[in-house]
Amino acid sequence: MERILVSACLMGRRVRYDGGAKTSDDAILAGWRAEGRLVPFCPEVEGGLPVPRPPAEIEGGAGGAAVLAGAARILTPDGNDVTAHFLEGARQCLAVARSFGVRIAVLKEGSPSCGSLRVYDGGFRGRTLPGAGVTTALLVANGIEVFGEDRIADAAARLSG
């Protein structure tokens, strides 16, 4: 049975920066959960950040690949650099994905860790730019396909294809 990595917040775990969850009611995800196929993970918590915590964005909306390359940082609104936590969480996420033989991940869109199509622009104004988060960039660089929670059907099609 193939396992699927999933953002813990989508599974109802209260791990988001604001102490909340973003529980998904997607039927495909529910089916995978019932089959025991899901591997829930929160890279930010596993990287050492508390719940709740200040929001964080990639400076300049540069994207996760720039953070991995050391060309951008992840900052809180007060300028606190939390990059090391995000990098550690991404590394741990990749290790867990590899240990379960994961090829597909369904992660929370917009997150500086998990976004796959867009991330916030670094200005804490609620604006997004095209790009991927740090964990997504690391997973993709290692051959794991990442889908946002609005693209679960695409993930399912990839698994069955």
Q: What is the pLDDT of residue 161?
A: 76
As for how many domains the chain has, the answer is: 1
Give me the pLDDT at residue 123, please. 95
What's the pLDDT score for residue 160? Answer: 87
Return the amino acid letter for 160: S
Give the helix/strand (H/E) hosting 133: none
Residues of the chain falling short of pLDDT 70: none
Q: What is the pLDDT of residue 60?
A: 84
DSSP assigned state of 100: T
- Return the sign of the alpha-carbon dihedral for residues 7, 8, 11, 16: negative
Which pLDDT tens digit goes with each residue over 63-72?
Answer: 999 999 999 9
What's residue 61's pLDDT?
78
Give me the domain span that covers residue 84: 4-160
